[in-house]
Each structure stands twice: as structure tokens, then as C-alpha cells.
Structure 1
Amino acid sequence: MPLIVDLKRVSVNAVSPCRTVRAKATGTSGITVEFGLTGLNGHEERTLDTAVSSAVNGAVAGYRKATTMVMKRHRASWAAEDRDRVVAGRRRLGEAVADLTVRGISEHGHVRARMSGRDGFALRIRPGTLHLLRRDETSMAAEINSAVAVVMSEYNRRLTSIRRNGAREHG
């Protein structure tokens, strides 16, 4: 199967330690966040920040691990010079990505998110948001997914730029 097809088939789920938030990372639709059966019950903005950040970080880490495994499987069939070039390029990319940080705000401004190559994903929900949205899971998930999408699309855009222009120009 071609590499691009295998990469698009990758799908990883991660659950927050409190088991109330699930993040899913796929090769086709990116990262989405959903709430478990108990929904927003027992959460305030601060605890929801932590739960979402934990689930998204788990999904990102799992996705990276899965795509690395797919790449290794395909790399085994490549010629030695191609394999060495790819490995060296990934090493340079990893060094440049460590310094990459992207910030974003959800569509309605209730959620702020940050993705850093060094520190991972972090999310902050503006105080009073749960009350304002009347603890509506659909609205809260839409705000969170909006912030996640903004940050991850910009992060991926910058990663693509680093790959195309060379890691040396960005680091």
C-alpha cells in the first residue's frame, strides 16, 4: 500500500485521566474533542482545561508514534541513500520544530489554545464560559474544536513551510 494511504489511515484515540474527555487524531480529519457520558458534569473551566489538554496531548503523541511506525515500515524498502536522506531530514526538522510555538483563539473567543514543539498542547477556557454557554456540551465542544483546529492548522502550515524551505532557515 502506498505511504500516503497508510498515513491517512492512522487514527488514534486518547482519553483524559478523569475519563471525561476524548481526543481523536486521524490522518484525514485532524484532531477532534468529544465529551464522555458524564459530559461537563463536575468540571469547571480550570479542570476542563487540564482534561482537554491531557487528551489532546495523548492523541498527538499517539499519532506521532503511529506515523513514525508507518514511516519505518515503508523506509525498510527504500534504497539506503534515500533512507539516510530521510532520517537526516527528520532529525533537522525535529530540531527546528522544538522552537515552533503557535497560538489561536476559538471562533467566539471563549477558548485559547497553544501548540509548542517543546511543550505540547495547552488550552485555556475563559472564566465564566461554562455558565455563559449554559454547560451545553455541543456548544462547548464546538468552541474547543474551533480553537484546536485553528492552532493545529497553523502549526501544520508552519511545519510544511519548514519542510519545504529547510529547517536551517527556521531554526
Structure 2
Amino acid sequence: MNQGKVNSNLHGHLFTVEILIEEATNGLALEQLLHLLNSQPNLIKDYKVLQGIQLGKLIEANTAGTQSSSRATAAKETEKFKAPEISKEPEKPKTPQPASENIIQQLEQFKANNTLIRLTIIKGKGIKLSLPCRILNYDGATQNVTVYHVDEKKVYLFKLNEIDDYVVTK
């Protein structure tokens, strides 16, 4: 039989399964599951993990309390211990601390006046950047500051907590 003919007759099939993986932590169990699913790329084309954040402890509680009871009782107990569904709504923005209110107001003022400032940024691993820039935007929901680097003529995005210092340049 021709290999091309076999491949043209392939159809996708969707299965819903529950898998119990025993590990020390939920994160290790999830890592093992993802490794298992990714180890067969020719067989498993796509997958979506819907639940499982707290299933390790919940399954233990369900099986420990229902081993001696009947199947109907076990089903009722299982319904009590279902894992919470993962919310698809975005998290509400964290409200800034009162001390940072002044900084945010100053950034908004710099933005409105198109003021040239020098930002001192501390990135990961202690890397320090000093850049002359203008504030383009501040997003309170994500606490991101968008700046325009006047020397490089590039736009950068920094977290508010990465800003170490700023000086107004004349």
C-alpha cells in the first residue's frame, strides 16, 4: 500500500481522559505529564490541560474517604472535592501603594509635558541601564511604563518596579 494514501486518510480524534500521576508536588506531576505528552509528537498533535492545579491532594482525599464505601457514595464524594475551575477572566490590576502614587503622578505629568528625563533601570541580574527618554505611556493595570529612548530612537517597555531613579534633564 502506498504511504501517501495512508496519510491522506488520517483523521483527528479527540479523547477526554483523566490521568493520575504520583509525584512529590503538583508542579513535578504537571512536568511529568507535559513531558509524556510532548514525547510523542507524531502521535499527539495537540493537547490542552484544563484542570489539575490542586488535583493531587483532592484525589487523595477522595480515594482515602471512599475506598470502603459504595460506588454511588464515592461519586457523591468526588463531586464535593472537584478542583476549582481556572478562571479565564484577567486578574484585576493590583492597586499601587500610596508611596508610588506620587511617582505615577509625576510620570503622568512628564508624559503630558513631553519632558525629557533620564531613567535609571535595574534589569535582572543587577544590570543597570541609564537612558535619556520621554514617557509615552503608563499602564496602571500592568504597571508598565513605555518610554522613547531619544538617542537610539527606540521604544522600550519597563515594569514600574524596574525603575530605580529618574532625573529631569534640562
TM-score, normalised to structure 2's length?
Answer: 0.24
Greater Cα radius of gyration, structure 1 or 2: 2
The structure richer in helix per residue is 1
